[in-house]
Amino acid sequence: MIDTEKLLSVAKEAALEAGEIQLAYFGKKKEISHKFNQFDLVTNADKLAEEKILSVIKGHFPEHGFLGEESGSYKSEADYVWVIDPIDGTTNYAHNFPHFAVSIGLLYQGRIYLGVVFDAFKNEMFWAAEGAGAYMNADNISVSNIDSLNKSLLATGFPVNRDGILEENIRYFTKFLYEAQAVRRPGSASLDMCYVACGRLDGFWELNLAPWDITAAACIIREAGGEVSNFGTDNFDIYVKNIIATNGLLQGKMTEIIESLMP
Ligand code: IPD
Ligand code: CA
Ligand code: CA
């Protein structure tokens, strides 16, 4: 029997603790290093926040597995695997641009079961669990009812791994600039997806994302009545790096446009 309430309360506790670490270092001088390339940043706060999340979850559920951006995979065969991004939007965070989040998703036997995305700066906790609806803090949230691209506000992101992918996304970006009311590039995939879940955005797409960017928010969007899929299919797999996430009404149109421009 899955104890959803306990799982959610531990996920929220871990997110709140990580958010405190984020805020403690926000606006201060940080130790910044690079991972994949010169554009791929990691700060001391990313590492501390991930350690804190792991210690909170392990304290309650020592038998669970993890996939963390900063610490990799642990017990990946476990029934419950937590998928963690301690700061989603590190480039924003490093520049003191206040759009970043903690993202904590949970897979149960491989399927997306629960998600918490916390914007500590705005004190907005987005959360959902399978069959339980989607919320921001105590309020139930749902996607928008915009059903035409020319009335929609869309968002995307551009990955730190630029080879080939920048050009591909610039093609989609240009097309959506013409088709949509407006397009934004906020810089935190998990939070941008939660903005779709609560109707601030109507659609989102991106390439080259990792499971920790999207697992939690995919649960939140689905529970808010929206849809997520990978390019070229109706299915959604967190290990396939691209995503289209919408209020559902725009899923078909955005998919069609992206497919018509895919390499
Ligand atoms: C990044 C953010 C950004 C997206 C990048 C991600 P990070 O995550 O989600 O919005 O455009 O592709 O890598 O590195 O800040 O955790
Ligand atoms: Ca991320
Ligand atoms: Ca991160």
**How much is the pLDDT for 161?**
77
Whole-number Å distance, alpha carbon 147 to ligand 3 midpoint, is 32
Are 100 and 89 in contact, with CB atoms under 8 Å apart?
Answer: yes
**How much is the pLDDT for 195?**
99
161 versus 5: the higher-pLDDT residue is 5
**How much is the pLDDT for 183?**
98
User: Quick one: which ligand is closest to 47's CA?
Assistant: 3
Q: What is the mean pLDDT of residues 88-98?
A: 95
pLDDT, tens digit, 9 for 90 and up, residues 1-53? 889 999 999 999 999 999 999 999 998 877 877 877 777 777 899 999 999 99
Whole-number Å distance, alpha carbon 190 to ligand 1 midpoint, is 8
- Answer whether 90 contacts ligand 1 (Cβ < 6 A): yes
Across the chain, mean pLDDT equals 95
**Of all atoms in ligand 1, which is nearest to the CA of residue 69?**
16
pLDDT, tens digit, 9 for 90 and up, residues 201-256? 999 999 999 999 999 999 999 999 999 999 999 999 999 999 999 999 999 999 99
- Answer whether 89 contacts ligand 1 (Cβ < 6 A): yes
Domains of the chain: 4-140 (3.30.540.10), 149-261 (3.40.190.80)
**Which percentage of the chain shows pLDDT scores above 70?**
100
- Answer whether 157 contacts ligand 1 (Cβ < 6 A): yes
- Answer whether 50 contacts ligand 1 (Cβ < 6 A): no
Ligand 1 pocket check: which of 88, 99, 172 to mutate, most ligand atoms within 8 Å of Cβ? 88
pTM score of the predicted model: 0.97
Ligand 1 pocket check: which of 43, 185, 209 to mutate, most ligand atoms within 8 Å of Cβ? 209
**How much is the pLDDT for 176?**
98
Whole-number Å distance, alpha carbon 178 to ligand 3 midpoint, is 31
pLDDT, tens digit, 9 for 90 and up, residues 166-197? 999 999 999 999 999 999 999 999 999 999 99
**How much is the pLDDT for 162?**
74
pLDDT, tens digit, 9 for 90 and up, residues 28-40? 877 877 877 777 7
Whole-number Å distance, alpha carbon 189 to ligand 1 midpoint, is 6
User: Quick one: which ligand is closest to 211's CA?
Assistant: 2
**How much is the pLDDT for 27?**
87
